[in-house]
Structure 1
Amino acid sequence: MPTTLIAFLGACTLVAASPGPSTVLIIKQSLHSRRSGFLTVLGNETGVFLWGAVAAFGLTALLTASEMAYDVMRIVGAVVLVGFGVQALRQARRAKGTRDDAEDAWQGTQKSGWASYRGGLLLNLANPKAAVFAMSFLPQFVPEGAPHLPAMIGLAALWAIYEVGYYGLYVWFVGRLKNVLSRAGVRRRLEQVSGGVLLLLGVRMALEG
């Protein structure tokens, strides 16, 4: 059991370290404040747990079995990613001007707690790959002889909690660089980069077969 747990946490680390839309969004929101970044993490990990629970009940098999259902989710996910990307690019554009104007713009675009949480949750739930991955990932670590459903839900909860800690380090690190990132030009450039990445990821998801 301890060996299985260590292997599971190691796999969770590799999964979290792989660059993806969630990582980009978390860093983007952390540019505004640690609160926004952390609430985005909580929203994302709520999605991770929900997909794990769905996989535990075997419902994600329906998604993989239905090409139409998968394609619908893929298009929805692409729209969500493109929406976040366009939003980031607009924020960067509004931040142009004098330093004072830029600071006011960043304050005006700082999201509420619910919006940050909802953004992280929506991004995760709109990604069909997250559902398919949960179905293929979690069963590998169910201990032999253990009840399948409770074990899968427990692993999903552990996976989400672990990633809260992991992505929390990203939020903390961005917060530590506050003096540098508070410069209007630097923050605007980072918004442009994150917006462009989210936009490209959305287009790629839309074009995938």
Structure 2
Amino acid sequence: MPPITKERPLSISLQETLTLLSALSLAILSPGPAIIATIQAAFAHGRERALPYGLGLATGASLWCLAALFGLAVLFRLNPALLSGMMIFGGCYLLWFAWRLWRGATQPLPAAAQGPKHGAWRGFLGGIALNLSNPKPALFYATLILSVFPRPLAGAEQAAIYAICLGTEYFWYALVAVLASTGAMRLRYFAAKFWIDRACAVAMALLGVLLILEH
């Protein structure tokens, strides 16, 4: 009678981890609504407002990672109308966001750039809302996870993947918010506020239109 052997538990290798980190980092830093909004917030309001906002954006993106792990991306593929509706809604939200940036380009900054004490919490929630307005990250995460981990994933592995993605999102958004809010960067922003805000508004509007057209 052959000896009974225990099935070897699935594990995430170093190569898989590095591949996931690299692909996700490139996606985060590529020009998109979230990274543009983080930079503009850092320029306009400084670190105390931009950092919570960036962390909110990272949290919102990580929720799409959870959605992909739980199969929401499969639901989108099975029900294209649901995805189309969310993309149209998200595109309209980005257009509204762009309109606010465009209008704010001609307005002076408030006297206290850091704002009231509750501004950090409000910025954090605003960051989550902006990233949740775009359902495309759910499909990106689903494709990324399936390509890097082409096998059934145990619950512990799913938790580890989410932790890696959340940490990566937090790291890059926090770094961008901190670097863009330095004194030298903000001085350059103040010197060209009108043009920077208008450029960010145009970029955000184009991304919104593309999101609507892609549905």
Judge conservation of contact 2:64–2:135 (CA < 8 Å) in 1. no
Q: Name which of 164, 169, 174 aligns with 1:163.
A: 169
Structure 2: runs of 5 or more not aligned: 1-12
Matching residue of 1:47: 60
Is the Cα–Cα contact under 8 Å of residues 29 and 37 in structure 1 kept in the other structure?
A: yes
Q: Which amino acid aligns with 1:49?
A: S
Answer yes or no: is the 8 Å Cα contact 1:29–1:116 preserved in 2: no
Secondary structure of 2:48's aligned partner: helix
User: What secondary structure, in the 3-state scheme, does the structure 2 residue paired with 1:155 have?
Assistant: helix
**Corresponding residue for residue 16 of structure 2:** 4
| Cα distance change of structure 1 residues 179 and 50 upon mapping to structure 2, 3 Å threshold | closer
TM-score by length of 2: 0.82
Pick the structure with greater CA Rg. 2
Query: Could you tell me which amino acid in structure 2 is paired with residue 140 of structure 1?
Result: S
Aligned mates of 1:196, 1:73 — CA distance in 2: 22
RMSD in angstroms over aligned alpha carbons? 2.6
CA offset digits 1:48-85 (Å, max 9, x no partner): 22111121121221112212101110111011101111
Bigger drift between 78-87 and 51-60 goes to: 51-60
Distance 1:8 1:208, change over 3 A: closer
In the alignment, the residues of structure 1 paired with residue 167 and residue 127 of structure 2 have an alpha-carbon distance, to the nearest angstrom, of 15
Asked whether 1:56 is paired with 2:63, we answer: no
Secondary structure of residue in 1 paired with 2:31: coil
CA distance in 2, matches of 1:129, 1:33: 29
SS at match of 1:93: coil
Secondary structure of the 2:49 match is helix
Answering whether residue 35 of structure 2 is matched by residue 23 of structure 1, we say: yes
Could you tell me which runs of 5 or more consecutive residues in structure 1 were left unpaired when the two chains were aligned: 96-101
Q: Which residue is equivalent to 1:98?
A: none
2:65 and 2:211 map into 1 onto residues whose CA distance is 22
Paired residues of 1:48 and 1:156 also in contact (CA < 8 A): no
Give the number of aligned pairs.
201
Question: Taking every aligned residue pair, what percent have the same amino acid on both sides?
Answer: 27
